[in-house]
Structures are given as C-alpha cells and as structure tokens.
Amino acid sequence: MADTALPLEAGAKVNRPSLLKRIILHNLPAKIAALPMMVTVLVVFVGCTLWTIYYSFTNSKLLPTGKFVGIEQYERLFATSRWNVSVTNLITYGVLSLIFTLVVGFILAVLIDQKIRFESAFRTIMLYPFALSFIVTGLVWQWIINPTLGLQGTMRNLGWENFTFDWIANPRMVLYALLIAGLWQGTGFCMVLMLAGLRGVDEEIWKAARIDGIPTWRTYVSIVVPMMRGVMVTAVVIIGSGIVRLYDLVVALTNGGPGISSEVPAKYVYNYMFSGGNIGQGLAAATMMLLSVIIILIPWAYLEFGGKGRRT
C-alpha cells in the first residue's frame, strides 16, 4: 500500500490539489475497479440493513409503505407463540449443536492426529457430507427416520417390536432429529479446522510435555487447547453464524412440524414476508436476528481486533 500511496500523498502536501480531486483522482482505475464492491457495501450491506431496521418500525402489510408505529411490531412479535417457539428452538438447537460440533470435531481431529493409517480415507468420509446441501441432508435423514419404513420400521420388522425412533413425528424430540442431521453435515468441517489447529502446535511442546511426564489428555486440555484459541474462536463464529441462519435444513427435514414444534426464526421471517403478507412483522423478526448476530460478533471482534495490529 504505502509504496503506491505515499509518494503521491507526499507530493500532495507540497502542491496540495483540492480535496475533492484527491479523493476522486487518486488511484482512479482502482476505484473504478472496486466500484462493484463499493456499491455492494453501500447498497446491500449498509443500505438494506438500515432499510430493514427502519421499516421494522412501520405497520407495513403487503407493501412496505406503512406508517411509523414505534415498537408495535416487536411487541406483537414477542406476543406470538410461533416466534417464541422459534427462538426457544433456535437457542436449544444452537447450544447443543455448538457444543456437539466442537466436541465431536475436536475428538475426531485428535483421533485422526494419532498417526493412524488410512488417515485420508477417514477424512474424506467425515467431510463429504459438508459438500452436500442442507436440502439433500434434510431429505436423506427424513427418509432414514421415517417412522414406518425407515430405521424404526426396519428394526420392528427385524423383531425388536418396541424399538422406537419416531423423533420426526414427536414434537418433543423433533429438534434432536434436526440435530442429528445438522451434526452429520457439519462436524466434518469442524474436524478439518481443529486438525489444522492441532497440526499447527509445535512438536517441541509435545516433547517438553512428555519429558515432564504430563499425561496425554492433560497436555491436550491444559496446553494444546489453549494454544488453539484462534482456531476455536473461528470455529465458534462460523458455526454460530451458520446456526442463526438455520433454514434449509428445517424446510427439508420437518418444514417446521409437527405443528410448529420445529419452527426457527429464519423460517418465520420468510413466511411473514413472502406468504403471510405482513412485511413489518417479517422485518422486525429479521432485525431481531441481526441483533442476535451482533451480540455474537461483538465479543469476537473485540477479542480478534481489540489488540490492534496483532492479526490481520
């Protein structure tokens, strides 16, 4: 950067052209080339976000033309049982999914890191679901846990008359069905991240720990995991922002059912905007999703960029 920008700016100090000229003309081709990015940032990432937040305070129904009604949409939102169920579901699913993804991903990475044979075969098997879409994931698991002809039916036909695996039809268990499918798709990716983190730990650390007679599990818990802080934080942020977006998987696996027992916020937003004809309500729900992501992101941004210049 400095190489191209500095000489020009130094010259500008001597022979100061007008501010406007400097802003526009300096590195002009680069600015033209970066125009799509600037438009995207300003129009989509800033503009659309502000638009959504603003119109979430209006009573827009079929068209976003309503008048300002303050927090009325939010009051209605939190008085709607479907929204509250969605939020509770997302929190339950999110916490369990985050914990299991991290734990399973870490354990698999540790096992694979034990200088085993067929390492790449195991890795390939564990990561391939990640290449598949949530729709495919959801539909396969929908078939596997189909109560009459799937796993339950098979086991009953084989003689286990009382075998029960009806999670998809059971409002109390349906979230765990989502969890099984979600973990199937995503744990391999977490494993890859963790493995990269493990491989980044200096071999010397292991030698030192061995000489000191520290048991292996203790070395992992007290030395290696703290050293993998960066990877852990990245994994949490990526898994977390994926969880908030949870939508396709629910549409494919349960479509929110039975009843409303597996609804999630992203689906609530979609339904109110595009089939419920209540845009204000959908926008308020979307703004709440935005808020939840900001709550996740701020601690991360603080950790990551707080000590300025440490990492880019």
Partner 1 sequence: MSQISTMAGVTPAPTGAAVEPRGPRPKPFFTPRKIIIYSILVMFSLYYLFPLYVMFTTSLKTMPEIRFGNIFSLPTAPSFDAWVKAWTSACTGLTCEGLAPGFWNSVKITIPSTIISIFIAAVNGYALINWRFKGSEIFFAILIFGSFIPYQVFLYPLVMITREMGIFGSLQAVIIVHTVFGMPILTLLFRNYFASLPQELFKAARVDGAGFWRIFFEIMLPMSLPIFVVALILQVTGIWNDFLFGVVFAGTQNYPMTVQLNNIVNSAQGTPEYNVNMAATVLTGLVPLAVYFVSGKWFVRGVAAGAVKG
31 binds partner 1 (CB under 8 A): yes
User: Which CB atom, from 171 or from 300, has the smaller least distance to partner 1?
Assistant: 300
Measured from the CB of residue 173, what is the shortest distance to partner 1 in angstroms? 18
Please state the closest distance from residue 203 (CB atom) to partner 1, in A. Answer: 15
Considering only residues 82-121, where is the footprint of partner 1 by CB under 8 A? 104, 107-108, 111-112, 114, 116-117, 120
DSSP assignment letter at 60: -
DSSP 176-201: HHHHHHHHHHHHHHHHHHHHHHHHTS
Cα 142 to Cα 132, 161, 167, distances in angstroms: 15, 21, 10
- Which of 90, 41, 66 lies closest to 288 in space, CA to CA? 90
| Helix (H/G/I), strand (E/B), else coil: 67 | coil
252 lines the binding site for partner 1 (CB under 8 A): yes
Kindly state the smallest distance separating residue 263's Cβ from partner 1, in Å. 14
Residue 282 interacts with partner 1 (CB under 8 A)? yes
What the block records as the tokens of 95 is: 């916490």
63: Cβ contacts below 8 Å, ≥ 6 apart: 279
Contact between 263 and 308 (Cβ < 8 Å): no
- Min CB(92)–partner 1 separation in Å: 18
As a whole number of Å, the CA-based R_g of the chain is 26
Q: Which is nearer to partner 1, 224 or 269 (CB)?
A: 269
| Interacting residues with partner 1 between 140 and 159 (CB under 8 A) | 140-144, 146, 148-151, 153-154, 156-158
The token pair at 169 is 């039809």
Residue 179's closest CA among 105, 266, 89? 89
- Our finding on whether 287 is near partner 1 (CB under 8 A) is yes
Give the footprint of partner 1 on residues 179-238 (CB under 8 A).
Answer: 184, 188-189, 192-193, 196, 231, 234-235, 237-238
Restricting to residues 34-53, which ones interact with partner 1 according to CB under 8 A?
A: 34, 36-38, 40-41, 43-49, 51-52
